[in-house]
Amino acid sequence: MSFTVVAFLLTILLFGIYDARGLLKPKHNKVVVCYVASWAAYRPDKGAFSIGNLRPEFCTHLIYAFAGLNISSWTISSLDPWADTEKDVIGNYRKMTALRQQYPGIKISLGIGGWNEGSKNYSQLASSPERRRTFIASTIEFLKTYGFDGLDFDWEFPGSRGGVPDDKQNFASLVKELSDAYREPRLLLTAAISADKKTIDQAYNIPEVSKYLDHISVMAYDYHGTWDKKVLPNSPLRSNDGLSVEDSVTYLLQRGAPAEKLVLGLPMYGRTFILTKEPEESNVNPIGLPALITGFKGPYTGQEGFMGFNEICEALTKDPKDWSTGWDNDISTAYAIKQDHVVVYDNIKTIMTKVEYAKKKKLAGVMVWSIDTDDFRGDCYGSEFPIMKAINKVLANTTAFVAPPIAPNASSVQLFSYISLTLSIIMIYLTV
């Protein structure tokens, strides 16, 4: 056999290896930011979600949530050192960033903050130039140590929850200084911001922070919940009360946010309610009905007033006769009702509608909170991650989303088969 033929076959072999390990990425040019809740690993039974359950090919950006703030040293720190840095010898930080080997081109950031971290400590951090310098230096070292591509800042929220009015300017200063410091090491800087108009005005100098943030994720959910004492939508596309996705995006664009930097947040969960009185008819539209101050829990997330999409679809699939489902056209929201229990949520239809809206407004893309509450085991639809597949389907303008031919957990087996086949062909040629 000639050298040319051998070289050709070896090229096929090498391409097959690269194709098996890489080339797994969304087939569109939009941003898909996937938050991964680190505490999801502690959920019981089928709700437990670890790094091994991820399907990164559905995302362009992964964000590990969350790191925290050490107020003794004013440095970034792990909130769960055993899981983040020690588990299985290497820890989840390095497990997460190691995914880049299999998915070249994906960006993997570390989120800091979140609801439970509050606002007061970040307010104190941002108020002091010296503290900001210390913090910024610590983040660069921290991100480099664990191989992250950048930092996602999730301060909830400047100017409230223990914050002060000066937070708005101090946050802008912190963002600018982070951006300047991240330029040389080429680290990404993103932020998640509130979708509430009042909070936007109180917390963010939108034109200023937009100069320095690579992307701005809008948390377009939690517009309503049990605190309203009546059934209202968690994340309506539109509404008559000014609390909707369309209202938030329009307001941010008017305030000077560049469309090409805005990322629309999509909730992979719903809000639950317990009605004060069980309706006489089981198929009633529950929107607007009075409810108690507390909702019911899902079996995995265990949080009152909250159910992940996986929990919702499992309940509807397991007991279809007990639940009546419906759709409210005015707010483009799905709901389900069982006696005095109601859940208002985003299903595949609402998600696809919102992704189309993000495309229409020429936004940078979409964000999901959080990928670990998709139907990641495929219990409801016979296929894993139905929401993530639907998102990519709309962004790619395809009639059906086609998953990559080699799944991450099967790549090594298929890769070995491919190598064996190619080597067999070479041997046949060599004996001719």
Report CA dihedral (328, 192, 151, 267) to the nearest 10 degrees.
-10
What gap in Å lies between CA 331 and CA 325, rounded to an integer?
Answer: 15
In the chain, the amino acid numbered 169 is Q
**Measured in whole angstroms, how far is the alpha carbon of residue 38 from the centre of its chain?**
12
Cβ atoms 78, 112 nearer than 8 A: no
Q: Is 292 helix (H, G, I), strand (E, B) or coil?
A: coil
Beta-strand relationship, 365-369 and 31-37: parallel
For tokens 């959920």, what's the residue? 43
Give first-to-last CA distance, the chain, whole Å: 7
28's torsion region: left (phi>0), alpha (psi -120 to 50) or beta? beta
Asked if 178 and 194 count as a contact pair (C-beta separation under 8 A), the reply is no
Query: Does residue 73 contact residue 142 with C-beta atoms inside 8 Å?
Result: no
Convert 185-229 into a string of H (helix), E (strand) and C (coil).
CCCEEEEEEECCHHHHHHHCCHHHHHHHCCEEEEECCCCCCHHHC
- Which residues contact residue 301 at a Cβ distance below 8 angstroms, ignoring those fewer than 6 apart? 43, 47, 269, 307, 308, 311, 373
Q: Which two tokens stand for residue 373?
A: 């509450």
Q: Which of 156, 311, 314, 384 is catalytic?
A: 156
Distance CA 93, CA 105 (A): 18
Cα–Cα nearest to 364, from 32, 115, 52: 32
- What sign does the dihedral 173-175-177-179 (CA atoms) show? negative
- Whether the link from the prior residue into 157 is cis, omega within 30° of 0, is yes
Report d(CA 239, CA 330) in Å as an integer: 7
278 is catalytic: no
Residues counted in the chain: 432
Query: What whole-number distance in Å separates Cα of residue 130 and Cα of residue 283?
Result: 60
Instruction: Give the pair of three-digit tokens for residue 421.
Output: 């086949």
Please identify every residue annotated as catalytic: 156
